[in-house]
Structure 1
Amino acid sequence: MSEWESNGIRCTFQTDFKSISSTQLAEGTVHEWYVYKNEKELYSILKLFGEITEKFGLKWFSQNIASQPFTIPNYLGNDWLKSIDDFIQTNQLELGSSSSLVKLDELISRGLNQNEIYLLDFCFGEIIVKHFGAVWEFDKEQGPMIKNIGGLPKFNKSPHNLVEAVLRQDNLTLQRYYNDIKFVVDQL
């Protein structure tokens, strides 16, 4: 590690799905990275970060409030089976085919209620499980997770978080997330 990297620090503001560097937020009036040589310089930089936070960060946070944590239901349970099957049949989805991703993205663009979002979460996750190999696991904090994608022990995804990101940003699609996952697995 170079001397610059070991003594470099920067300021970034982040909520659950958004982040911005202090440089972007202050429209280039502050540096992206600050390098310090000793504790006194580090203290000065941290003091500056406090000033940047007061001047720019607090307003940004008030405009980008983090969503309140909630519990994602365990749609892997038996009580969801009929709803999942009905959703798959109604929307003519084939979870063994990546062509169903187009249909899932179309459903998102039309709008979904919260229950339908969970059903879509399952379908997207199941496509990943069937195509790349993975296992479903319920996490009390993150909800249903697909783990060990492509046999990679640390390659885990929350279908719900990916679907929520697509719902929030017009330029994202489930097809893109699928292709990103495919790229990682293909590198094996």
Structure 2
Amino acid sequence: MNIAKIIESTVANEFSKYGFNYEKSNNTWFFTREVNGFKENIRIDKSNWYENALRIIYYNNITSVASTHFENKNNVEEWYYYEDEESLRKLLVHFQNITQNYALKWFESIRPKNILPPENFLSELWKLKAKEFMKQNDINFQSFESLTIIERILQNEPLEGTVFVTSYFIGEFFIRKFGGEWVIDGNFGPVIQNIGGIKGFNRNPYKMVTNYIRNPQEYSIIGHYTTILNTLDSLKNQNSNE
């Protein structure tokens, strides 16, 4: 049973009706579209730990949600199981229905507005300020403890200038740790893209910082780090198992 061909002939064709372009990478299938300059993504993964298991995730540069959230908001399980080609095709039809009935509306509801930072913190001026900030607070791009210090600073000094220098620091920290590059997005400002060499795996450090200030329990900087690390480890395991 060739899962990729079945996905390509069913889900890929269906999602293309909504403007999503298809791309495969190992045991992961990506679907991406752009609406008013904002990228919206769907990802189907095949599990490395569970036999005959798939999940479908919806995300943009700011947030993500698993399909199971639409069916049961209290359900932390993200995986769906199939036994044979027939049950696989039924599962893919289920993915199509969730996308049509819930995810498309979700994408529309989360399209960001007025999210450009008021300053380009990649400018030489802010880079110099960031270097001085790092020196004053004894942080560097090699120490994981620096992220803990950043969180503490943001709790105590949520000033605009602090937001800019910490946004720059976090972006540089992730790029040096995982790989990736800075780009200036017309809607989001400075973002890091292609983290770990994964096309479409992007993050917005400015939003990480502002979200953390607003709700540190839900939007931990260290939590973002852990999520990126686990995602890249998962993709690495998929590559090694092929």
Report percent identity of matched pairs.
22
For the Cα contact (< 8 Å) 2:134–2:140, is it kept in 1? yes
Distance in 2 (alpha carbons) for counterparts of 1:170 and 1:164: 10
Counterpart of 2:226 in structure 1 is 179
- For these two proteins, the number of residue pairs brought into alignment is 139
- Change beyond 3 A, Cα 1:4–1:92: closer
Counterpart pick for 1:121 among 167, 184, 187: 167
- Change beyond 3 A, Cα 1:186–1:90: same
For the Cα contact (< 8 Å) 1:71–1:141, is it kept in 2? no
SS of equivalent to 2:190: strand
Counterpart of 2:130 in structure 1 is 84
**CA-CA distance at 1:106 after TM superposition:** 0.5
For the Cα contact (< 8 Å) 1:136–1:146, is it kept in 2? yes
For the Cα contact (< 8 Å) 1:97–1:127, is it kept in 2? no
SS of equivalent to 2:183: strand
**TM-score, with length taken from structure 1:** 0.65
Distance in 2 (alpha carbons) for counterparts of 1:147 and 1:101: 20
What are the equivalent positions in structure 2 for 1:1-188 lying under 5 Å apart?
2=90, 6-7=96-97, 9-10=101-102, 14=109, 68-171=114-217, 172-187=219-234, 188=236
Counterpart of 1:28 in structure 2 is none
For the Cα contact (< 8 Å) 2:127–2:165, is it kept in 1? no
Counterpart of 1:58 in structure 2 is none
For the Cα contact (< 8 Å) 2:191–2:204, is it kept in 1? yes
**CA-CA distance at 1:94 after TM superposition:** 1.1
For the Cα contact (< 8 Å) 1:121–1:163, is it kept in 2? yes
For the Cα contact (< 8 Å) 1:98–1:127, is it kept in 2? no
SS of equivalent to 2:216: coil
For the Cα contact (< 8 Å) 1:147–1:154, is it kept in 2? yes
**TM-score, with length taken from structure 2:** 0.51
Instruction: Identify unmatched segments of 5+ residues in structure 1.
Output: 17-65
Instruction: Identify unmatched segments of 5+ residues in structure 2.
Output: 1-88, 237-242
For the Cα contact (< 8 Å) 2:181–2:195, is it kept in 1? yes
- Change beyond 3 A, Cα 1:173–1:4: closer
**CA-CA distance at 1:99 after TM superposition:** 1.4
- Change beyond 3 A, Cα 1:74–1:163: same
Higher relative strand content: 2
For the Cα contact (< 8 Å) 1:139–1:145, is it kept in 2? yes
* RMSD between superposed Cα atoms in Å: 2.3
Question: What amino acid is aligned across from residue 136 of structure 1 in structure 2?
Answer: W
- Change beyond 3 A, Cα 1:185–1:111: same
